């Protein structure tokens, strides 16, 4: 008999993945914030750290809607992106390019999350989970705003300093 996995199974699996990704990202933020030199970048990262806590709360609500325990599964993609950020912190410590590297690392994480939340929103709509789709849309907007803010900070100062 063939494996009868459904879109609902895939949805739950991806929800667990992004839940773990957000938790890992939340643990990584203090290291990034401590390393940055720009006050504007520090403020942006701290603001997004706070948003991440709210995003985890939204994910908890989706788990509740599904009547499933809020549990993640190891997100190897985020693990890899966080490892890359650690390499940047180590290799560029004290260098003029450090903030530009931190922005790039943070944006790589944001882009992964944007992809995941866009997919989850679409699947939630497909599965008739309109309330969950709205929660994902809120988070997707926050992730996109953070990405835009990081791009502006890079263009305004960090990339110029790195050059």
* pLDDT at residue 2 tops 70: no
3-state secondary structure of 38: coil
Handedness of CA 52, 158, 141, 119 (dihedral sign): negative
Confidence of residue 1 (pLDDT cuts 50, 70, 90): low
Per residue in 78-129, pLDDT (tens digit) is 999 999 999 999 999 999 999 999 999 999 999 999 999 999 999 999 999 9
Chain-centre distance of CA 42, in angstroms?
17
Per residue in 11-37, pLDDT (tens digit) is 999 999 999 999 999 999 999 999 999
- pLDDT of the residue at 3: 83
The CA-CA-CA angle for residues 14, 15, 20, to 5°, reads: 95
Structure pTM?
0.93
């Amino acid at each position: 008999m063939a494996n009868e996995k459904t879109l609902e199974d895939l949805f739950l699996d991806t929800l667990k993945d992004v839940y773990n990704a957000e938790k890992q990202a939340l643990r990584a933020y203090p290291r990034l914030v401590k390393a940055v030199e720009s006050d504007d970048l520090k403020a942006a990262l701290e603001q997004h750290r706070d948003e991440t806590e709210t995003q985890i709360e939204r994910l908890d609500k989706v788990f509740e809607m599904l009547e499933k325990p809020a549990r993640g599964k190891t997100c190897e993609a985020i693990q890899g992106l966080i490892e890359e950020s650690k390499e940047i912190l180590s290799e560029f410590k004290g260098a003029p390019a450090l903030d530009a590297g931190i922005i790039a690392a943070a944006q790589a994480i944001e882009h992964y999350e944007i992809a995941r939340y866009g997919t989850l929103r679409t699947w939630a709509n497909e599965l008739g989970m309109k309330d969950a789709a709205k929660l994902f849309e809120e988070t997707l907007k926050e992730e996109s705003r953070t990405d835009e803010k990081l791009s502006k900070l890079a263009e305004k100062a960090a990339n110029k300093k790195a050059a």
